[in-house]
């Protein structure tokens, strides 16, 4: 009999083990699988971390983080996001993934229902199941925009939470303000809490990012330093929201995290001083390249208005794993969409990679489309510019 707890069954990754085994055998693979930006952490951020070490700022910080960092984040939320919170209603966490678990532990009781839009960032449903909540999936296919009627129909008297992630991983969809206002109205009418994961807020290429926490106070706004500041390994994020929830998270952190890295927090203060807006044009160009070339090759591709992902339908009704296997045979690593969805017919491509890697990956995907005899889309559709759907 296994000593491993039952809750681990929520993390079934058997589908991927074989794919990962095959991918590990590749020499010089083209990797379009990981959600990491190509940039390195900026020098001034690294210097701030080094200064923190040299100046012995290496002990525990307060559980909820350095006061100056929380104040800086409250100011940032006010000026950039129109989210009004006191510094006491901001807490620092060792990354948003841990943050997600802390929020769930703070607000969910067994049997509570959590609405998750499909496709989703994998921890949203798995961690919810792990804490005993019931996950209700609302499909966003085919546009990857929330269907408000479907959302409303999925609300019951047990619905406690709706998880929102815009710009979205894995679809790249950006939800327009109008959609977010409609979701907030539904949440208010039904007394539902919202989580808004805004980790890709600056990666928006069409339309504008809108923070739902600016119009609905029962929103837990989550953000972090991993993506836009190229700090995935520094493990730092923050959560802002209703004070009683932040207090509960802090109590949980006291017995689990204790405090996030002091060094990373000092680095984050330096990171906040410079908004990474220079990245956007570069990422827009990469996004345009992916969209135009893959659509021209005949791939069915929606979303991709933001973040750095495209969620693409596997052609010819192949399953995601079958298509990923074919890509692997040609030296390309991409992710089978079932990691992000209840459906098994999509693949996720990350364009966090540098342009040369991206170009090599696209050439392989074009060759695969040819091999599978996918009909290229008519030129006008392939060339059409990408616009937000306004659901």
Instruction: State the residues that interact with ligand PLP by CB under 6 A.
Output: 35, 95-97, 121, 165, 169, 197, 199, 224, 226, 232, 237
Q: Which is nearer to ligand PLP, 113 or 197 (CB)?
A: 197
Name the 3-class secondary structure at 346.
Answer: strand
CB 294 within 8 A of CB 301: yes
Environment class of residue 203 by beta-carbon count within 10 Å: exposed (0-12), middle (13-18) or buried (19+)? Answer: buried
Smallest distance from ligand PLP to CB 99, Å: 7
Q: Which is nearer to ligand PLP, 140 or 377 (CB)?
A: 140
Closer to ligand PLP by CB, 124 or 323: give it: 124
Question: Least distance (Å) from ligand PLP to the CB of residue 237?
Answer: 4
- Number of neighbours of residue 251 by Cβ within 10 angstroms: 14
CA distances (Å), 25 to each of 21, 29, 337, in order? 7, 9, 21
Q: How far is the CB of 107 from ligand PLP (least distance, A)?
A: 18
SS3 341: coil
CB nearer ligand PLP, residue 40 or residue 189: 40
Torsions phi, psi for 349 (to 5 deg): -115, 130
Shortest CB 167 distance to ligand PLP, Å: 8
Residue whose C-beta lies closest to ligand PLP: 95
Q: What is the DSSP letter of 157?
A: T
The whole-angstrom separation of Cα 128 and Cα 116 is 10
Instruction: Rank residues 231 and 369 by Cβ distance to ligand PLP and give the closer one.
Output: 231
- Min dist. Cβ of residue 230 to ligand PLP (A): 11
The nearest distance, CB 77 to ligand PLP, in angstroms, is 16
Q: How far is the CB of 267 from ligand PLP (least distance, A)?
A: 14
CB of 95 vs ligand PLP, minimal distance in Å: 3
The residue among 237 and 241 lying less far from ligand PLP, judged by its C-beta, is 237
Q: Which is nearer to ligand PLP, 165 or 219 (CB)?
A: 165
The span from the CA of 297 to the CA of 381, in Å, is 11
Residue 309 CB contacts under 8 Å (≥ 6 apart), including other chains: 35, 168, 169, 170, 171, 172, 348, 349, 350, 351
DSSP 254-279: HHTTSS--HHHHHHHHHHHTS--TTH
Contact 321, 15 (CB under 8 A): yes
Closer of 127 and 131 to ligand PLP (Cβ): 127
């Amino acid at each position: 009999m296994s000593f491993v707890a039952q809750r681990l069954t929520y993390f079934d990754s058997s589908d991927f083990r074989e794919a990962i085994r095959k991918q590990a055998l590749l020499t010089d693979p083209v990797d379009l699988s990981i959600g990491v930006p190509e940039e390195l952490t900026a020098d001034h951020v690294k210097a701030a971390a080094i200064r923190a070490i040299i100046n012995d700022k290496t002990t525990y910080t307060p559980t909820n983080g350095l006061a100056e960092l929380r104040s800086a984040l409250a100011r940032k939320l006010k000026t950039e996001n129109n989210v009004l919170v006191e510094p006491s209603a901001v807490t620092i966490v060792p990354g948003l993934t841990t943050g997600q678990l802390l929020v769930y532990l703070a607000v969910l009781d067994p049997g509570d229902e959590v609405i998750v839009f499909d496709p989703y960032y994998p921890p949203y449903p798995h961690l919810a199941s792990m804490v005993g909540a019931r996950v209700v999936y609302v499909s966003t296919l085919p546009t990857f925009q929330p269907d408000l009627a479907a959302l409303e129909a999925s609300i019951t008297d047990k619905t406690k939470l709706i998880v929102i992630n815009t710009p979205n991983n894995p679809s790249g969809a950006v939800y327009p303000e109008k959609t977010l206002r409609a979701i907030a109205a539904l949440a208010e009418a039904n007394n539902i809490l919202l989580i808004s994961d805004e980790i890709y807020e600056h990666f928006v290429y069409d339309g504008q990012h809108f923070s739902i926490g600016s119009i609905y106070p029962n929103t837990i706004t989550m953000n972090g330093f991993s993506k836009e500041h190229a700090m995935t390994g520094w493990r730092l994020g923050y959560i802002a929201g209703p004070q009683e929830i932040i207090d509960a998270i802090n109590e949980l952190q006291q017995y689990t995290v204790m405090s996030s890295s002091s060094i990373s927090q000092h680095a984050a203060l330096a990171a906040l001083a410079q908004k990474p807006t220079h990245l956007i044009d570069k990422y827009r160009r990469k996004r345009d390249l992916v969209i135009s070339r893959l659509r021209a090759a005949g791939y069915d591709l929606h979303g991709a208005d933001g973040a750095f992902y495209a969620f693409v339908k596997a052609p010819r009704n192949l399953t995601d794993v079958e298509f990923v296997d074919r890509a692997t045979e040609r030296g390309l690593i991409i992710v089978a969409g079932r990691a992000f969805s209840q459906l098994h017919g999509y693949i996720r491509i990350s364009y966090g990679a540098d342009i040369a890697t991206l170009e090599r990956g696209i050439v392989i995907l074009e060759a695969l489309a040819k091999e599978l005899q996918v009909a290229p889309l008519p030129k006008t559709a392939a060339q059409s510019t990408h616009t937000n759907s306004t659901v």
